[in-house]
Amino acid sequence: CLFLLFFEISGVDEHYTPIRTFQVCNVMEYSQNNWLRTNWIPRQSAQKIYVELKFTLRDCNSIPLVLGTCKETFNLLYLETDDDQGSHFREHQFSKIDTIAADESFTQMDLGDRILKLNTEVREVGPMTKKGFYLAFQDVGACVALVSVRVYFKKCPYTVRNLASFPDTVPIDSQSLVEVKGSCVNHSKEEEPPRMYCSTEGEWLVPIGKCLCNPGYEERSNTCQMCRAGFYKSTLGNTECSKCPPHSFSHHEGSLHCGCEKNYFRAEGDPASMACTHPPSAPRNVISSINETSVILDWSWPEDTGGRRDITFTVVCKRCRVVAANGSNGGTQRCEPCRSSVRFLPRATGLQNTTVTVGDLLAHTNYTFEIEAQNGVSSLAPKMRQYAAVTITTNQAAPSPVTVIRKEKTSRNSVSLSWVEPERPNGIILDYEIKYYEKQETSYTILRARGCNVTLNGLKPNTAYLLQIRARTAAGYGASSPSFQFETSPDSAFSISSESSQVVLIAISSAVAIILLTVLLYVLIGRSVHHSLDSVLFLSVIFTSHTNPFLPFFIFCRSCKWSIHALRLPGVRTYVDPHTYEDPSQAVHEFAKELEASCIAIDKVVGAGEFGEVCSGRLKLPSKKEICVAIKTLKGGYTDKQRRDFLAEASIMGQFDHPNIIRLEGVVTRSKPVMIVTEYMENGSLDSFLRKHDAQFTGIQLVGMLRGIASGMKYLSDMGYVHRDLAARNILVNSNLVCKVSDFGLSRVLEDDPEAAYTTRGGKIPIRWTAPEAIAYRKFTSASDAWSYGIVLWEVMSYGERPYWEMSNQDVIKAVDEGYRLPPPMDCPATLYQLMLDCWQKERNNRPKFEQIVSILDKLIRNPGSLKITANTTPRPTNLLLDRSSSEAPSVGTMGDWMDGMRTLPCKEAFSGVSYSSCDTLAKTSTEDLKKVGVTIVGPQKKIVSSLKALDSHTKNGPVPV
Ligand code: ACK
C-alpha cells in the first residue's frame, strides 16, 4: 500500500483477535485530504471487480470541539492501468467508486475499551478492460480505521455434469447468462450436446444434453471407467457393467461381450445378456406306427434343450440296406436318401410339434428315420448334434386303384377292355378282379384276369353295363376303380351268334391247350420216367362256364425239380415262410410291428415257455386305449439262432388276422429283453382250462369252442399254413370262451412241445396228435392238421383227458396203424364222435377239410337237438381203442362179453379175481374201487365207471341188447 497520511496501527477486532489497521483521524483540522492506495492488482480474467471493505468510523458527536471539521465518510476510488506504476501517484487519475459511510460508528468509551465496531461495505466496479488496477481511499476529515479490503471477482468454476466437463467461466456482465458448451469426459460420447449457463453470480444453471459412457465403460464418479473382469457392457449408455451370463467369461477389463465357455455357443441375434447355449440332445421315445406304406413318428422333447427354447425338429428319411461284405459273414449298412416323392406331413424340417406322418413310402421296404432336435446354435456345433434313429419296415399295402380303363373292341355280346396298372402297385399284382353288371340291374358278375386286358362275353346286345376293376397283391385287394360304363353293339341279323362263336373259341382254345399240355406231359414223363411212382404228373384242367373263360389249372410234380404252383383261392392272402427271407429279422419287421418297451407294462408271470417267461401285462400305444397283453420274453444269453427261432413265431403270427388266431400286437427287438406281445387270453390254454372246469359246460358251449378252433384252422389252411402241433394245449381261451389257435413256428414248435417225441426218422413229433403219414414220412399237410383237430375234438369232449392216456408212444403208433381209434368220450354226441373218426381216416384225402368241419359244427349249433344223441361209450371188447375196420358204430355187448373185454384192458388183468354178485353192485363201482383193484389210469377209470352205469341202465330198462 501506498500510505498517504494513513497510519498502520495494531488493535483487536470484536472477537479480540489482534488485527492491523490503517487509520486516519484528523478531525480537528479543516481541509483534510488523506490517501491510502493499494498495490497494482492484476485483473486476470475478471470483468467485474468486487471490493469488500471492513472499517470502523468514529461518531463525530462523540468528539468534543470538532464541529465543522469532523466527517463521518470517506471515498473509495480506482484507477485502471495496464502495468504497475510503482509509487507514481496522481490523485486526479483516480475515479471515485463511492462515498462510504459507516453503518456503525463508535464512541470514545468504546475506544477506551479498545473494541472496534466493524462496518462492512461491498462495492462493484467494472467492467474492467485494462490489465490491472489500483484502489484508493480518500479521507476528508473522518476518524476511520480500515481493517480489511478484499478484492475479488465472480466466476462459474470448472465442473462435470452429465459426463460433460465445463471449464471455469467468468460472467461478462451483470445482465446476461453465459452459455457454456461442455465436452464429454474420456470414453464417453455425446448423446445430445451438453450445455450449461453460467450466471453473473458464478452459478451454473440449466444443464442441457449429456454424454454416455462407451461400451465396455461404466460411469463411476463423473467419469467413464472400464468394466472389471467378469463384467461386460455392450452398449453406449450410463448403465452399469453387467456380470457375464452363465457359461461365459471375460478375462479382461473393458469387455464389450463375454466369450462362451468351451462347447457353448451364442447364436447370431442372441443378446449379450443371454447365457451361452449348446445344441439339444436327441429326441426321446421315438415311436413309429406303420400303416401300410405310411408311418406316423412320434417322439418326446429332448432331455436337454441346450438352454434354449427355439427347438425345432427335422426328420431325415433314409433307405438302408445291409450290403454283404466280400468274403465275410457280416455286412455293412448302406443308406441312401429317400425318394423325393416321399411325403412328410406337415413337413420334414422346422417341425414345432413332436410328430410327423411320412407317406408314399415303398411297401416292404426298410427305412431309417433320423429325428434331430435343433436349436439356434445347432449349426455352430455340427459335431455336437445328436439324433434319434428309428428303423421301420413298411407293410404290405394294397395296390392303388386302377384309374385308366379303355374299351378296345365291342360287339353285340362282348367287349374287350384294357387298363393301365395302378400307379402304386405296392407289390406284385397277382390278378385283377373285374366286376360288371347291367346298368339297370343289381346282380353282377365277377371275373379275374392276370393281365391288363379282358374280354367280357355273353353280354346282352345293345345294353349299357357298368364295370369296376381292382387289383390284388399279396396284401389283398386295392380300392376299386371308378365305375366305367360301356355299351354293347345293337342286334344284327347277319352277326354270328355270340354263343356259337364262344363255343368255337373255347373249342379252339381247348384243343390248343390240350395239345400243349400233351406235349408238356410227354416231355415231363420222358424226363422223369426213372423216378418213383411219386413222379406221376397230375394235370387238371378246369374249364369254367363260357361266361367265365379263365382256366385256372394246377400242375403238381412230386419229384420234379421244378416248383409246384397252385392257384389259391382269390382274395385270400398266402402265408410267407419267414425262413425264405435271407435276413429273418427283415421278416419279423415285415410282419410284426416294433413296439417301444416303454409302452409295455409287465404285471406278472403267467407261465414259462422254452425261451423264457410268459407274462401278462398292459400295452399302451399313443392315442390308443390300453389293452391287456401276454408277453413272451426271450431270456438272456440266447444264441442268434434262438433269437431267430423265437421271433419266427412273431413273423408267422403277424401274417394272420382272424378272430380265432391269436393276434400279434407287436415285438420288441430293439431293446432287451426281446419280447413278443400278443392279445391276452384270460383263461389260458384250453387243456388246463377244461380240466379245471370238468363237466361244467353245455354241449353247445363246447361245440362253440370247437367251431372257433376249426374256423381258425380253416383260415390257416386257406393261407397255406400247416400248423403241425394242433393240440388243446396250443389253443388259448379268452374270457368269452373264444378259442384261438396259438403257438406258431416251424421246427421250433415241435422242439418246444414237451409232447413232441423223436421219431425213428429223426425230428420231434407230438405222436398222439399227429397223423400216421406225418409220423411215418413227415407228410405234414392241412389234412394232417385235420387229424390233429380230431384229437383236439376228443380232448375237448373229454374235458382235457390225455389222448391214449398213459399208453406209450410206440403203442399208440402201433395201435393207430392197426386201425384202432380213441373211443368216444363220455356223453359225447354221436355226430361229434363221427367227426373225430372222419378226421382220423387213414387216407388223408378222405379226411374232412376245415371248411367242411366248420359247416358241420355250424349245423350242430343251429340244431342243438342233434347233440342229444350220444355215441355209445362202451369200449370194444378186444381193446380199449375202437377198431374202425370192423364196424362203424360201436355197440354194447352182453354182460359176459363186456366183462371179457374189461379183462383184456391194458390194466394188467384188473378184473381177474374180482367177482360181482349183480349188475347193481357193478353200477355202484366207483373210481376209488377201481384204483383198489389196480386200474390207476384215469381215462379207463372214467370209462369203466360210465360203462358200468350204462350197463346198469340197460339192465334196469330192459333186456341187454345183443
Ligand atoms: O395255461 P396257461 O395259463 O396259458 O399257461 C400257459 C403259459 O402262458 C405258457 O405258455 C400262458 N399263455 C401263453 N400265451 C398266452 C396269452 N396270449 N394269454 C394268456 N396266457 C397265455 C399259457
- Determine which residue's CA is closest to atom 12 belonging to ligand 1: 684
Q: Is the peptide bond before 18 cis (omega within 30 degrees of 0)?
A: no
How many other CB atoms are found less than 10 A from the CB of residue 960?
A: 16
Distance between CA 327 and CA 74 in Å, rounded? 132
For residues 314-320, average pLDDT: 92
Residue 103 CA to ligand 1 centre (angstroms): 127
Higher-pLDDT residue of 355, 553:
355
Distance between CA 807 and CA 816 in Å, rounded? 12
Domain boundaries, the chain: 7-152, 159-213, 283-394, 405-488, 577-680, 686-751+762-871
Distance between CA 448 and CA 456 in Å, rounded? 11
725 is catalytic: yes
Is 606 annotated in some ligand binding site?
Answer: yes
- Determine which residue's CA is closest to atom 9 belonging to ligand 1: 607
Apex 314 CA angle, 310 and 317, nearest 5: 175
Apex 836 CA angle, 833 and 839, nearest 5: 155
Q: Which residues pair with 106 in a beta bridge?
A: 58
Distance between CA 492 and CA 490 in Å, rounded? 6
- For residue 293, give the nearest of 397, 170, 443, 188 by alpha carbon: 397
- Determine which residue's CA is closest to atom 19 belonging to ligand 1: 681
Is 728 annotated in some ligand binding site?
Answer: no
Distance between CA 940 and CA 910 in Å, rounded? 11
Q: Which residues pair with 537 in a beta bridge?
A: 557
Please report, for residues 294, 339, 369, 563, the alpha-carbon distance to residue 362 in angstroms, rounded to integers and kept in the order given: 9, 10, 14, 29
Which CATH architecture best describes the domain 159-213? Sandwich (2.60)
HEC sequence for 819-843 = CEECCCCCCCEHHHHHHHHHHCCCC
Grid cell locating 102: 459507516
- Determine which residue's CA is closest to atom 2 belonging to ligand 1: 684
Is 790 annotated in some ligand binding site?
Answer: no
Distance between CA 196 and CA 159 in Å, rounded? 10
Question: Ligand 1 pocket check: which of 602, 604, 606 to mutate, most ligand atoms within 8 Å of Cβ?
Answer: 606
Q: What is the DSSP string of 245-288?
A: PTTEE--STT-SS-EEPTT-B--TT--TTSPPB------EEEEE
Residue 421 near residue 377 (C-beta atoms within 8 A): no
Distance between CA 225 and CA 395 in Å, rounded? 71
Question: Ligand 1 pocket check: which of 732, 738, 740 to mutate, most ligand atoms within 8 Å of Cβ?
Answer: 732
Apex 442 CA angle, 440 and 443, nearest 5: 120
Q: Is the predicted pLDDT of residue 933 greater than 70, yes or no?
A: no
- The pTM for the full model equals 0.42
Q: What is the largest CA-CA distance in the chain?
A: 196
Question: Ligand 1 pocket check: which of 605, 681, 740 to mutate, most ligand atoms within 8 Å of Cβ?
Answer: 681
Strands 143-152 and 164-166: unpaired
pLDDT tens track for 626-668: 999 999 999 888 888 888 888 999 999 999 999 999 999 999 9
Relative to the CA of 688, which ligand 1 atom is closest? 1
pLDDT tens track for 175-227: 678 899 999 999 999 999 999 999 888 899 888 999 999 999 999 999 999 99
Q: What is the DSSP string of 406-451?
A: EEEEE-SS-EEEEEPPPS---S---EEEEEEEETT-S--EEEEESS
Relative to the CA of 681, which ligand 1 atom is closest? 18
Q: Residues near 159 by Cβ (< 8 Å), separated by ≥ 6?
A: 165, 166, 204
Which DSSP letter does residue 782 get?
A: H
Apex 897 CA angle, 895 and 903, nearest 5: 105
pLDDT for 566: 33
- For residue 76, give the nearest of 8, 175, 142 by alpha carbon: 142
**pLDDT classification of 107: cutoffs 50, 70, 90:** low
**pLDDT classification of 518: cutoffs 50, 70, 90:** low
Grid cell locating 592: 410284426
Is 607 annotated in some ligand binding site?
Answer: yes
Relative to the CA of 614, which ligand 1 atom is closest? 8
pLDDT for 30: 85
337 — phi, psi (to 5°)? -65, 150
- Determine which residue's CA is closest to atom 14 belonging to ligand 1: 630
CATH 1.10.510.10 fits 686-751+762-871, yes or no: yes
What is the CATH class of 405-488?
mainly beta
Which DSSP letter does residue 572 get?
A: -
Residue 708 CA to ligand 1 centre (angstroms): 18
Half-sphere CA count of 476, side-chain side, radius 13 A: 9
Strands 613-619 and 627-633: antiparallel
Half-sphere CA count of 834, side-chain side, radius 13 A: 13
Relative to the CA of 662, which ligand 1 atom is closest? 17
Is 268 annotated in some ligand binding site?
Answer: no
Residue 614 CA to ligand 1 centre (angstroms): 7
pLDDT for 959: 28
Relative to the CA of 685, which ligand 1 atom is closest? 1
Q: Residues near 588 by Cβ (< 8 Å), separated by ≥ 6?
A: 578, 647, 648, 650, 651, 654, 667, 669
Is 608 annotated in some ligand binding site?
Answer: yes
Residue 860 CA to ligand 1 centre (angstroms): 30
pLDDT tens track for 877-895: 334 566 654 434 333 333 3
Distance between CA 776 and CA 814 in Å, rounded? 11
Distance between CA 712 and CA 703 in Å, rounded? 14
Q: Is the peptide bond before 673 cis (omega within 30 degrees of 0)?
A: yes
Q: Which residues, judged by CB distance below 6 Å to any ligand atom, belong to the binding site of ligand 1? A: 606-607, 609, 614, 630, 662, 678, 680-681, 684-685, 688, 732
Residue 797 CA to ligand 1 centre (angstroms): 21
Distance between CA 150 and CA 139 in Å, rounded? 19
Q: Is the predicted pLDDT of residue 803 greater than 90, yes or no?
A: yes
Q: Is the predicted pLDDT of residue 690 greater than 70, yes or no?
A: yes
Q: Which of 725, 753, 785, 952 is catalytic?
A: 725
Give me the helices (H) in 29-122, please.
108-113
- For residue 951, give the nearest of 908, 904, 913, 902 by alpha carbon: 902
CATH 2.60.120.10 fits 283-394, yes or no: no
Instruction: Report the mean per-residue pLDDT for the chain.
Output: 80
Residue 611 CA to ligand 1 centre (angstroms): 14
**pLDDT classification of 506: cutoffs 50, 70, 90:** low
First CA to last CA across the chain, in angstroms? 179
Relative to the CA of 607, which ligand 1 atom is closest? 7
Same fold, 283-394 and 686-751+762-871: no
Task: From the options 1.10.3720.10, 3.90.226.10, 3.40.50.300, 2.60.120.260, give the CATH code of 7-152.
Answer: 2.60.120.260
Task: From the options 3.40.50.1820, 3.40.50.2000, 3.30.200.20, 3.40.50.300, give the CATH code of 577-680.
Answer: 3.30.200.20
Is 938 annotated in some ligand binding site?
Answer: no
pLDDT for 567: 35
HEC sequence for 694-744 = CCCCCHHHHHHHHHHHHHHHHHHHHHCCCCCCCCHHHEEECCCCCEEECCC
Distance between CA 577 and CA 594 in Å, rounded? 19
Residue 623 CA to ligand 1 centre (angstroms): 27
Residue 248 near residue 259 (C-beta atoms within 8 A): yes
Which range has the worst mean pLDDT, 414-428, 497-511, 666-680, 901-915?
901-915
